[in-house]
């Protein structure tokens, strides 16, 4: 039985074309700046993001940490959403290595973000840590893959610039945001000083993320990447997969169509609820009304060959991606219909 893995888009597997590109990649020592494939990927990424330069980093977590370290200083605070990935899922690394205080606020990553941000800024005062950085996230992972409009991002960016503050965008899935909005990704990345995006999620590469920003920012970031142990040698083997992964940007809309169809079908079933307005990209948050727990649901799904993750006692997350076909969606729908009928 074919397993349908809806846990995350991180489970995507490298395709044959990607493996061939890896096997045939031209490589050199990237710590000397001599890996042609890494250099090609970095140039492409900078162009895509509309920034001067880019840096290949091992993971999204590494890219975000390097950005926090590069933009801020010990004893400063970083303003971000209380559900933001950097705060919620990154092991406290900003505090661990950067000595910064995270000032988490609710609602920053919503369309009310500008009002929330206005309240989060603190005046200069001996008692307050100076603000070093503001982080945004698009799409918003714990928000259910929701998109913050380019217009709202731009408003927030202008507010930060009036205060001489830099903005880092956790854009792990920024191409999903651009695809869902039908605009060029630069409409989003113009409203940040640095952006991190992941190759190893919906784009299907086995490893890697990119951090993009000004030449000056990237030169400083390179030192932090080295300090954290992220100076890689013949990394062109990995960058070659990344170059193929960028070709998958144009097919992300298929994942959004699949997620929308899955959400629509499930929403008609008794015993579960989906906020269809929040299904904007490839992530679906399902809430159960009590007749089945998330743990029971995950277990029953696993018995039928469908994997998914619980996000709370009565909620699960379903994620569509490169390795989920339209017929996988059909099969998942009928399996879930049966589970809900029997529960």
To ligand PLP, the closest distance from the beta carbon of 193 in angstroms equals: 17
When binding is defined by CB under 6 A, the residue of 4, 54, 60, 166 that contacts ligand PLP is 60
Q: Which residue is nearest to ligand PLP (CB)?
A: 60
Cβ partners under 8 Å of residue 236, min gap 6: 25, 26, 27, 28, 30, 35, 36, 37, 38
C-beta of 320: minimal distance to ligand PLP in Å?
15
14 binds ligand PLP (CB under 6 A): no
Strand ranges across the sheet with 315-319: 272-273, 283-288, 315-319, 309-312
Least separation in angstroms between residue 128's CB and ligand PLP is 27
**Residues whose CB falls within 8 Å of the CB of residue 290, separated by 6 or more in sequence, listed in order:** 314
Asked if 61 is part of the footprint of ligand PLP (rule: CB under 6 A), the reply reads yes
Please name the residues in contact with 154: beta carbons below 8 A apart, sequence gap of 6 or more.
190, 191
Site for ligand PLP (CB under 6 A): which residue of 117, 133, 136, 172?
Answer: 172
Supply φ then ψ for residue 96, to 5 degrees. Answer: -60, -45
**Per-residue contact track with ligand PLP, 68 to 97, x per CB under 6 A?**
-----------------x------------
Whichever of 64 and 248 has its CB closer to ligand PLP, that residue is 64
- From residue 203 to residue 222, what is the string marking binding to ligand PLP with x (rule CB under 6 A)? ------x-------------
CB of 85 to ligand PLP, least distance (A): 3
Q: What is the DSSP letter of 92?
A: T
Binding segment toward ligand PLP, per CB under 6 A, in 57-65, 146-154, 178-186, 291-299? 57-65
Distance of CA 11 to the CA centre of its chain: 14
What does the DSSP assignment read for 228-248?
Answer: TT---SSTHHHHHHHHHHHGG
Give the CA count within 13 Å in the CB-facing half-sphere of 39.
11
Per CB under 6 A, contacts with ligand PLP among 109-138 are 137
282 binds ligand PLP (CB under 6 A): no
**Bridge partners (DSSP) listed for residue 318:** 284
* Among residues 37, 42, 59, 281, the one that binds ligand PLP under rule CB under 6 A: 59
108 binds ligand PLP (CB under 6 A): no
CA distance 249 to 48: 11
Taking the complex as a whole, the smallest distance from the CB of residue 68 to ligand PLP amounts, in Å, to 12
CB atoms within 10 A of CB 24: 10
Tell me the closest approach of the beta carbon of residue 110 to ligand PLP, in angstroms.
Answer: 15
Contact 81, 57 (CB under 8 A): no
Closest separation in Å from C-beta 212 to ligand PLP:
15
Instruction: Give 135 or 324: the residue with its C-beta nearer to ligand PLP.
Output: 135
Structure tokens at 231: 């100076």
- Determine, following the binding rule CB under 6 A, whether residue 254 of this chain makes contact with ligand PLP: no
Residues at the site binding ligand PLP, with contacts judged by CB under 6 A: 59-61, 64, 85, 137, 141, 170, 172, 198, 200, 209
């Amino acid at each position: 039985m074919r397993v349908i893995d809806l846990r995350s888009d991180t489970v995507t597997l490298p395709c044959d074309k990607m493996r061939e590109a890896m096997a045939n990649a031209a490589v050199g020592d990237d710590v000397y700046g001599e890996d042609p494939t890494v250099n090609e990927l970095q140039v492409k990424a900078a162009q895509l993001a509309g920034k001067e330069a880019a840096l290949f980093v091992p993971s999204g977590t590494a890219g975000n940490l390097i950005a926090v370290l590069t933009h801020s200083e010990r004893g400063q605070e970083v303003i971000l959403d209380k559900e933001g990935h950097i705060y919620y899922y990154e092991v406290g690394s900003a505090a661990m290595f950067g000595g910064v205080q995270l000032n988490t606020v609710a609602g920053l990553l919503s369309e009310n973000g500008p009002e929330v941000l206005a309240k989060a800024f603190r005046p200069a005062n001996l008692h307050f840590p100076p603000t070093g950085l503001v982080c945004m996230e698009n799409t918003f992972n714990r928000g259910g893959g929701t998109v913050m409009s380019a217009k709202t991002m731009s408003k927030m960016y202008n507010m930060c610039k009036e205060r001489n503050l830099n903005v880092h965008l956790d854009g792990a899935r920024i191409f999903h945001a651009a695809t869902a909005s039908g605009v060029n990704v630069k409409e989003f990345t113009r409203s940040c000083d640095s952006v991190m995006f992941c190759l190893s999620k919906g784009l299907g590469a086995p490893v890697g993320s990119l951090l993009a920003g000004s030449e000056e920012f990237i030169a400083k970031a390179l030192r932090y990447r080295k300090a954290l142990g992220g100076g890689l040698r013949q990394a062109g083997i990995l960058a070659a997969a990344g170059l193929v992964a960028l070709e998958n940007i144009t097919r992300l809309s298929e994942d959004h169509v699949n997620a929308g169809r899955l959400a629509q079908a499930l929403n008609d079933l008794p015993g579960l609820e989906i906020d269809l307005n929040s299904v904007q990209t490839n992530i679906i948050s399902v809430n159960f009304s009590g007749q089945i727990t998330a743990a029971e649901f995950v277990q029953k799904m696993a018995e039928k060959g469908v994997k998914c993750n619980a996000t709370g006692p009565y909620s699960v997350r379903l994620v569509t991606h490169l390795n989920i076909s339209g017929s996988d969606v059909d099969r998942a729908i009928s399996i879930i219909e049966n589970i809900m009928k029997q529960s």
